[in-house]
Amino acid sequence: MIEVDIETKLGAFALAAKFAAPASGVTALFGRSGTGKTSVVNALAGLITPARGRIAVRGETLFDSERRINLPPEKRRLGYIFQEGRLFPHYSVRGNLLYGAKRFDAAALNRIVALLGLGELLHRRPGDLSGGEKQRVAIGRAILAEPQLLLMDEPLAALDAARKEEILPFIAALRGALDIPVIYVSHAMEEVIRLADMLVLVDGGRIAATGTVEALTSRIDLRPLTGRFEAGAVIRTVLRGHDKAYGLSELAFPGGRLRVPHIDLPLGSKLRLRIHARDVVLAATAPQGLSIRNAFAGRVVEISPEDGPLVDLRLDIGTPAEPVMLWARVTQRALADLRLAVGSPVHALVKTVALERPSPGGERAFGETYEAG
């Protein structure tokens, strides 16, 4: 477990953060700029000392104001990947990579160099690298110090969209290749959904909620924090079958199967899908004679109170034992015409799904969007 319970004042800003996250997978600290995300990570790394509280990682107390424990940063074994890379300008890329290594391990170096595609860069200086290359070196440098936890503070924020796309697969590849838990700070929900398992919502120096990405993104009361624009649900599925004749693959979730264009992964692969609210069409009765094949029966669980012409509905298309939440965005007019209310049975038609993350360890590119057949 990663346990954080700290209070401190930063100028006029009061930070009181308390959360626990599993010491595995990726936990995202998500919130707007200036809400205290970076301060939490700095406290974890020992770069700032909170006024009061306790921090423990995997049972080891790093900070405890009552017991007067405050390990210096170099004793905490936490890898920190900063927004601006912070490479040492007077070292080569190779020198940077090896700076934190306890001993020279050629095999480990080669593995990280291959994983992050740094082979061509080893003898260059940081001044000659692009922003994306710098960030890849920074990631490799942190990993080669053999940390027990990786802290990433908006590692993509300083990069343009193309560079982000260049780095994201590398970060995702780390999930599978290394068994290091990650705390990932971000204010971009797209990144969080692609990478994270757990979500810690930070708002105004406090923790608003902690839970799985699926659970928190489907809660209407948290929508002001998780964002409305890209409203959508995240669904975990398992690759269950291939339909060779039609070139389709079947992704199973509790309560149904989604058909998508062929995915070249072995059966049983775990895949996470994001279905945007705007890609879900609602029908009051079972649809017939439509080209959309992905239709699921469910019921309305929640209707978001909105002033505008559009309204978001949360649907449950799973089983009683394992609910699966889906969002649909319809007009107020449609809502009235279909006479939908909380509890109404409804059929959800899914137009498009985005494959957010292949199974951990998968090397393929992701973030692909599929027209659901």
Partner 1 sequence: MLTLTPVESAALLLSLRVAFVGTVCSLPLALAVAWLLARRRFVGQQLLNGVVHLPLVLPPVVVGFALLVLFGRHGPVGGWLYDVFGLTFAFNWKGAALAAAAMGFPLMTRAMRLSLETVDRRLEAAARTLGASRSRVFWTITLPLMSPGILTGAILGFARSMGEFGATITFVSNIPGETQTLPLALYAFTQVPGGDPPAFRLCVIAVIVAMAALFASEVMARRLDRSVRGAS
Exactly one of 29, 121, 145, 171 binds partner 1 (CB under 8 A); which one? 145
- 333-338 LR contacts (CB < 8 Å, sep 24+): 333/309, 334/282, 335/303, 335/311, 338/282, 338/284
Q: How far apart are CA 116 and CA 180, in angstroms?
A: 16
CA distances from 265 to 23, 229, 358, 363 (A): 28, 31, 9, 11
Q: Looking only at residues 327 through 346 of this chain, which bind partner 1 when binding is defined by CB under 8 A? A: none
Exactly one of 13, 22, 49, 99 binds partner 1 (CB under 8 A); which one? 99
Q: How far apart are CA 81 and CA 288, in angstroms?
A: 52
Exactly one of 28, 78, 137, 273 binds partner 1 (CB under 8 A); which one? 78
Exactly one of 11, 12, 66, 102 binds partner 1 (CB under 8 A); which one? 102
DSSP state of 294: -
Min. distance of Cβ 138 from partner 1 in angstroms?
A: 8
Residue 298 makes contact with partner 1 by CB under 8 A? no
**How many beta carbons lie within 10 A of that of residue 17, not counting itself?**
24
Alpha helices in 99-155 (DSSP H): 106-116, 131-144
Min. distance of Cβ 106 from partner 1 in angstroms?
A: 19
CB 183 within 8 A of CB 149: yes
**Nearer CB in complex with partner 1: 71/338:** 71
CB 271 within 8 A of CB 172: no
Min. distance of Cβ 304 from partner 1 in angstroms?
A: 42
CB 353 within 8 A of CB 372: yes
Q: Looking only at residues 16 through 75 of this chain, which bind partner 1 when binding is defined by CB under 8 A? A: 45-47, 72-74
Residue 94 makes contact with partner 1 by CB under 8 A? no
Which H or E run includes 216? helix 213-217
Residue 79 makes contact with partner 1 by CB under 8 A? yes
**Nearer CB in complex with partner 1: 46/50:** 46
**Nearer CB in complex with partner 1: 143/225:** 143
Residue 313 makes contact with partner 1 by CB under 8 A? no
**Nearer CB in complex with partner 1: 100/254:** 100
DSSP-assigned beta bridge partners for residue 150: 79, 182
Min. distance of Cβ 48 from partner 1 in angstroms?
A: 10
Min. distance of Cβ 76 from partner 1 in angstroms?
A: 8
Exactly one of 9, 13, 88, 160 binds partner 1 (CB under 8 A); which one? 88
Min. distance of Cβ 240 from partner 1 in angstroms?
A: 44
Q: Looking only at residues 114 through 133 of this chain, which bind partner 1 when binding is defined by CB under 8 A? A: 123-128
Q: By rule CB under 8 A, what count of residues binds partner 1?
A: 31
**Nearer CB in complex with partner 1: 54/76:** 76
Min. distance of Cβ 116 from partner 1 in angstroms?
A: 16
Give the strands of the sheet with 280-283, arranged side by side. 280-283, 345-350, 295-303, 310-316, 325-331
Options 32-40, 88-96, 299-307, 363-371: segment touching partner 1 (CB under 8 A): 88-96
Cα–Cα–Cα angle for 360, 367, 29, rounded to 5 degrees? 70
Burial of 282 (C-beta count, 10 Å sphere; 0-12/13-18/19+): buried
- The residue among 233, 237, 322, 318 whose CA lies nearest residue 271 is 237
Q: What's the alpha-carbon Rg for the chain, to the nearest Å?
A: 23
- The binding site for partner 1 (CB under 8 A) comprises 45-47, 72-74, 76-80, 82, 84, 86-90, 92, 99-100, 102, 123-128, 141-142, 145
